[in-house]
Structure 1
Amino acid sequence: MPQSFGFSTTSEEVVNAFADRVKGRIFLVTGPTPNGIGDYTLRALATAHPSTLLLLGRNPAKYTPVVDAVHAIDPNITVRVYGADLSSIASVREGAKAILSENERIDVLINSAGVMGLPLEYSVDGVEGHFATNHLGHFLLTNLLLPALKKSDEPRVVNVSSAGHRTGTGDYSDYNFRSREYTWELGYGQSKLANIHFSQALAKRGITSLAVHPGVIWGTSLSPTLSQDVLDELRDRLNSFNVKSKTPTQGASTSLVAALDPKGKEYNGSYMADCQVSPPLSDGVNKEGASEELWKLSEKLVGQEFAF
């Protein structure tokens, strides 16, 4: 990764550095909500003239400003928007089916959608909310889209994790918190650690994949259930540790380095922060057998095994 890139690097700067890795290629980004990092990822990519940008999220009608922004940058880009609720296995299957019906190839998949701060609640499939949306939905989507990814000369999967993975243990035996105390920090941390283990598992299967921490970004739709008082408390806590916040375009930069830097192959399965490969913040990242344990659990939960 370029050593000049760091905390303040913007998404536009990354795309400008790797413009030849964007032109004519096809990118899919989940979670393209306006003013979030998915939005800024797409806007930056548009400046380097990709062939096609695919957007996937729960509320397609809300993504019109993002589509309009992309076409304002380059009206020749093909933009397709798909609806899928990542917390629902059936919805993800329908979304993937629609994507595959219209797109023979996908070069880069950026799994950027996420939720944070949920009370203990379970998805329609009976899975804890953070784990269902942040990991399981992306696990299923990625595997269902592998036929299109494998048609790329250089397929890559980026999983947007978080420094919040520090509260994860790597033990997925009680993924639903049936026999241990639940806090949203533990649920979120478990799902974000799962993002890293998912990248590790993909790397073992020959798919270039990196997991990234975008940074602390306020004002996005990541945590709609948290009250302002809780958010203020969280902000104060982070400030006490001198954790600086980022703008959305700075937050999107690490995802784009992971997606575009040709040296990414050398760091396959790694964790990144501030546009650089970084040491993880939980010993659970390197827990022996955790990535395969997670893979088998995920296959069981979605009711399908995936052969490579």
Structure 2
Amino acid sequence: MQSALHPVVGPKKDIHDLNGRVALVTGGALGIGYEIARAFVLHGASVIMVNRKEEQGQEAIKKLKEEAGENAKIEWLGCDMGNLKEVKDVFTGIRDREERLDLLILSAGINANQYGETADGIDRHFQVNWLGQFYCCNLLYPLLRKTSKMPDTPAPRIVWEASEQHRAAPSVVHFGSLDEINNPEVGNLELYGRAKLAIILGVKYGFVDRVIKPNGDNIYALSVHPGAVNTAMQQQWKDAYPGLFGKLVSVVMLAGGRDVEQGSYSALYAATSPEVEEKGWNGYYFTDPGQPGKESSQASDPALGAALWDLSERIIKSKVGEDALADWSSSKS
């Protein structure tokens, strides 16, 4: 639902023609992800939405075709980011069948909530918000590289939904071991903040410094803060903090937040604006369209970024197999 203050409050929408381009949006059937997928469809892209629940995907397709027409190029695939073997199967399949991938938007996630572990035995905040989507990026990267070498093609972009709540990460974070990640003594907001910190670090010191620059790839990796947005995720505050406090936080966030469409604007800017390439803003974190943010000191620590990257690869290999990861320098033929 659009806010009554939508015309005068919040960022401006910035999106460009996407005819002939292919986009994949994790979390694309709900909330901000849906608004991103919707904008891509309305501007001519072929869109793949990836979510956990089929009924959400089918409802999203129905709404999009009602708005954009029956010929809208949109499909849904199911995948649980909390299951790394499922991530491997789904995204390897996408890579093998698709001929190009121009836009990869990582919008799946859970809000601050109580500690719990995924099917892989990993803190669910860390796996769903960061690790599972890191793995899907790895599996799709050869396809992004192939696309980047096509003639007359804008640089493919990877855009992550981060958050200003990365500042709420624990004061001491090492990303040294899975035992550190699986610590139920860490507070609910800190769990969420640590996962969002991982995204900003992974973009800057992983994708850009360890992959894109060494390969000489014409690919952009970016992270964005959508703002406090009125989505169903705000209801998770009630689960994170049972009782009156959680209810009050949920009410405040819903009352003062942007509407969902506005919450998509930072990601749409990062995904489509020519200004990103014109200004060489690779690896940047945006708090609004065209507004580079100021990260926390933790999010500006290259050693912490290196530790995160190494831990992420180690965990995936331990859960899926030593051959689980695609070669970052490979390209789909």
Q: Same fold (TM over 0.5)?
A: yes
Q: Does 1:98 align with 2:93?
A: yes
Q: Report the equivalent of 2:60.
A: 66
* Within-5 A mapping of 1:110-259: 110-153=105-148, 154-168=155-169, 171-173=174-176, 176-177=180-181, 181-200=185-204, 201-204=206-209, 205-206=211-212, 207-221=219-233, 224=236, 225-226=239-240, 227=242, 229-235=244-250, 244-259=256-271
**Inter-CA distance 104–95: structure 2 relative to 1 (3 Å threshold):** same
Q: Report the equivalent of 1:260.
A: 272
Q: Report the equivalent of 1:3.
A: none
Tell me, in whole angstroms, the C-alpha distance in 2 between the residues paired with 1:278 and 1:263: 12
Q: Which AA in structure 1 matches 2:10?
A: S
Structure 1 length-normalised TM: 0.86
Tell me, in whole angstroms, the C-alpha distance in 2 between the residues paired with 1:237 and 1:221: 13
CA contact (8 A) 2:225 2:287 kept: yes
Q: Which runs of 4+ in 1 moved over 4 A?
A: 177-180, 235-239
Displacement after TM superposition at 1:127 (Å): 1.3
RMSD: 2.5
CA contact (8 A) 1:47 1:74 kept: no
Tell me the matched-pair count: 293
Structure 2 length-normalised TM: 0.80
Tell me, in whole angstroms, the C-alpha distance in 2 between the residues paired with 1:297 and 1:219: 31
Displacement after TM superposition at 1:231 (Å): 3.9
- Unpaired segments ≥5 residues, structure 2: 1-7, 149-154, 213-218, 318-323
Q: Report the equivalent of 1:78.
A: 73
Q: Report the equivalent of 2:20.
A: 24
**Inter-CA distance 230–45: structure 2 relative to 1 (3 Å threshold):** farther
Tell me, in whole angstroms, the C-alpha distance in 2 between the residues paired with 1:178 and 1:110: 27
CA contact (8 A) 2:111 2:233 kept: no
Q: Which AA in structure 2 matches 1:181?
A: E
**Inter-CA distance 218–86: structure 2 relative to 1 (3 Å threshold):** same
